[in-house]
Structure 1
């Protein structure tokens, strides 16, 4: 039977569910869970998506992801493939780890969004030790929502949902926790009343424009790095290599181009070389002081 086409839009928020194959545990210990979240962080840095909630259980994962204009399939393919390779290498196994494709459902409105977050945060109650205190489970974002601990990986944007309860942080935490306790089933019909309080939480969602043309990318690089982009075609030049890598990174992230399409833009370059340049570009804009503000500046100009 052919697979059904996945429902996707560039500006959607998704409930993403990943499950391990058969009886294989997805995570054997906390180190595995840490590694999965580390891959979320890695690809978040690459593709600039947002995470509103998460919960990692023994054989499945729940995520609320704001694709922020990027392709959710590319995001999850990167995360799941990287984790599966890590898992198989660590435990000396072969074959698939995840059960089929990841599942994703488009979140259509705010009321479903907050109820979904509560449902996800209630997952730990399936374990006896967390039945009365799901907020104590380490691999759920609920504790971050409630201010019990900080987000250890820096992947979470809890303010987006919390602002729907109150802009005052203390009130939002109190109301959200009460709401979570009422929502042990995703089909729950009881919703809270949203109230507008002045305070510190702000719920302003901005979606990145991902339809930039290659010409826009080249122009941006020329203007901000003060170079003639024709120089990127020079071989045996370290600077040309760096500029080429940054252009590949921007084309991939903000034009949504595939490696094949980037090959056509740059010409006389292989798929494997584009993949290498993408990773070099990622390292440059995140670790090299010369380029560390480049993406931030690009985002400021290109958000919608």
Structure 2
């Protein structure tokens, strides 16, 4: 992993991208997006995680995060491990998941090339962490996160996408209470 994308300051604020291995469009299904939301709520309540912004796209999640306990790497690792296990279990147990066999082939294939993974790999190991150490970079990443669904052509306005903190910043109903920047 490139040194420039590592979390160096464990108490710093970072832009993080969690990418599904093979760019599999897992989060096109609500049930898997909801696992992400639920896990973020848990990390906020139990692991001192502060979420400033997020968006859940079909195959990746962008976040702006900080750890009050100055253990951001540990929290991100635990979040990815837990969500990986929960989503893979949900895929296997979901009898109506038409893509189950194909997704499992992709996850098993990528696991063969990674000594740290047993059977299936869900997330890539990189987080592409970028420290947000000034307001210009912070504003740029916040805008990038919120405009993702607009650039994808899913919504006309960022605040119209339910699985994004753009709704929080617009004062609308939201799925996850965050701290505003």
TM-score class, shorter-chain normalisation, is 0.7 to 0.9
Equivalent position of 1:87 in the other structure: 87
Question: Is residue 71 of structure 2 the alignment partner of residue 71 of structure 1?
Answer: yes
Q: 1:49 to 1:100 in 2, by over 3 A?
A: closer
Asked whether the equivalents of residues 18 and 60 of structure 1 are also in contact (C-alpha less than 8 Å), the reply is yes
Mapped to 1, the partners of 2:176 and 2:150 lie a distance apart of: 23
Instruction: Quote the residue 1:104 is aligned against.
Output: 129
Q: Which has the larger radius of gyration?
A: 1
Deviates further, 65-74 or 35-44: 65-74
* Higher RCO, 1 vs 2 (CA within 8 Å, ≥6 residues apart): 2
TM-score by length of 2: 0.78
CA contact (8 A) 2:37 2:175 kept: no
Question: What is the count of residue pairs matched by the alignment?
Answer: 154
Equivalent residue, structure 1, for 2:171: 147
**Which residues in structure 2 correspond to 1:8-87 (within 5 Å)?**
8-87=8-87
By how many angstroms is 1:4 displaced? 4.1
- How far apart are the structure 1 equivalents of 2:77 and 2:29? 23
Q: Who is 2:112 aligned against?
A: none
1:117 aligns with 2:139: no
For the structure 1 residues 10 and 87, does the alpha-carbon distance in structure 2 shift closer, same or farther, using more than 3 Å as the test?
Answer: closer
Where has structure 1 moved over 6 Å in runs of 4 or more?
A: none
- What SS does structure 2 have at the residue aligned with 1:103? coil
Calculate the aligned-residue CA RMSD, in Å: 1.7
Structure having the higher strand fraction is 2
Q: Work out whether 1:137 is the aligned partner of 2:161.
A: yes
Q: Is the 8 A contact 1:39 1:83 kept in 2?
A: yes
In the alignment, which residue of structure 2 is the partner of 1:261? none
For structure 2, list consecutive stretches of 5 or more residues without a partner in the other structure.
Answer: 93-103, 105-118
